[in-house]
Amino acid sequence: MIYEETPVDGFPGWSVREYREGHCVLIVNCDENGPMSYCFRHDNPLGPRAIVDPTPGQPGSLYVCVTFADVAAEVDKLDRVHRMVDDVQRFFKSLEESGAFKIERKSENKKEVNAMQYEVTFSRFGTAIIEADSREEAMNLANSLNSGEVAWDDDITPTDVQKM
C-alpha cells in the first residue's frame, strides 16, 4: 500500500491523501478535522467506479458500492473482468488491514470543553399476541416474554433527556 499526503496550497490543515495499490487508488480530500470526501479509481478506463461513504451510525467503517462502467464491452474478455474484481477486493482488504486509514473526522472524536452532557432515553415499541383470561394475566405473561418473542417496530423514539 502506497500512501501519500499532499497539502492544499493556501488552506492550512487541508490535504489530499492517496492510497494506491496496483491498479486501484482511493483519493481522500481532508480538511483540518479529517476526511471529507472519497473518490475511487481503477486504471482500466472500463474498470470499476465506487461510491465510498462513511457508514451511517458506524464510525470507523465505510460503505462501498462498486459498479463497472462498461462490463458489456469486456464480456468477451471475462478474465479481465475477474481480474478487476479481484483488484478491487484486494485493494479494500489491504486498506482495511493497513490500519493507517482512519475514516472518522477528528471533530467527531473531540469533546467540547464547555459542552454539557445529557443522557437521552429511547423507547422502542413492539407487540405480541397473548392468550389470557384477563388483562392482568395478559400483562403478567407479557412481562415474562423475551425480546425475541416480540414483533418490534423499526422506529426508535427519544422519550426523555436528563442533564448529567
Q: How many other CB atoms are found less than 10 A from the CB of residue 64?
A: 16
- Asked if 29 and 36 touch (Cβ cutoff 8 Å), the reply is yes
pLDDT of 91: 81
* Burial of residue 79, with CB atoms counted within 10 A of its CB: 0-12 exposed, 13-18 middle, 19 or more buried: exposed
Quote the cell numbers at residue 48: 470499476
How many Cα atoms occupy the beta-carbon half-sphere of 52 within 13 Å? Answer: 22
pLDDT at 133: 94
Q: What pLDDT does residue 90 have?
A: 81
CA–CA gap between residue 53 and residue 102 (Å, rounded): 13
| Residues 80-103 pLDDT 10s | 767 777 887 788 778 777 765 555
**pLDDT at residue 29, as a whole number:** 84
Identify the pLDDT of residue 72.
Answer: 60
Residues of the chain short of pLDDT 50, as ranges, are 104, 108-109
pTM attached to this predicted model: 0.50
Please report the pLDDT score of residue 28 as a whole number. 84
- Residue 78 pLDDT: 67
